[in-house]
Amino acid sequence: MSNEPTSTEKDLPGGDTVRVECDDNGIGWVYFNRPDKRNAMNPALNVEMYEVLDALEGDDRVKVVVLTGAGSAWSAGMDLKEYFRETDGKPRWVQNRVRRQGTDWQHHKLINYPKPTIAMVNGWCFGGAFVPLVSCDLAIAAEDAKFGLSEVNWGVTPGNLVTRALAEVIPTRDAMYHIMTGEPFDGRDAARMRLVNEAVPADELRARTIELANKLSSLSQWVVRGAKLGFRHSRLMSWEAAEDFLYAKHDQAILYDEQARTTGMQGFLDDKSYRPGLGINSN
Of residues 146 through 185, those in contact with ligand COA by CB under 6 A are 150, 159
In this complex, which beta carbon is closest to ligand COA, that of residue 7 or of residue 153?
Answer: 153
**Min dist. Cβ of residue 122 to ligand COA (A):** 13
Indicate if 274 belongs to the active site.
Answer: no
In angstroms, what is the minimal distance from the CB of 38 to ligand COA?
4
Choose, from 176, 211, 237, 247, the residue flagged as catalytic: 247
Active site residue 237: no
Q: Which of 83, 102, 193, 226 is catalytic?
A: 83
249 membership: H or E segment, kind and range:
helix 239-256
Cβ burial 250-281 (10 Å sphere, 16+ → b, else e): eebbbeebeebeeebeeeeeeeeeeeeeeeee
Distance, CA of 61 to CA of 27 (rounded, Å): 8
Q: Give, to the nearest 10 degrees, the angle between helix 43-57 and helix 92-103.
A: 40
Per CB under 6 A, which of residues 99..138 are in contact with ligand COA?
Answer: 124, 126-128
Among residue numbers 62 through 81, which ones bind ligand COA (CB under 6 A)? 72-73, 76-81
Q: Is 78 a residue of the active site?
A: yes
Angle at 251 between CA 247 and CA 253, to 5 degrees: 120
Which of 214, 216, 194, 218 lies closest to 206 in space, CA to CA? 214
Could you say whether residue 196 binds ligand COA (CB under 6 A)?
no
Radius of gyration of the chain (CA): 20
Min CB(278)–ligand COA separation in Å: 45
Does residue 40 bind ligand COA (CB under 6 A)? yes
Q: Which residues are catalytic?
A: 78, 83, 128, 151, 247
Site of interaction with ligand COA (CB under 6 A): 37-38, 40, 72-73, 76-81, 124, 126-128, 150, 159
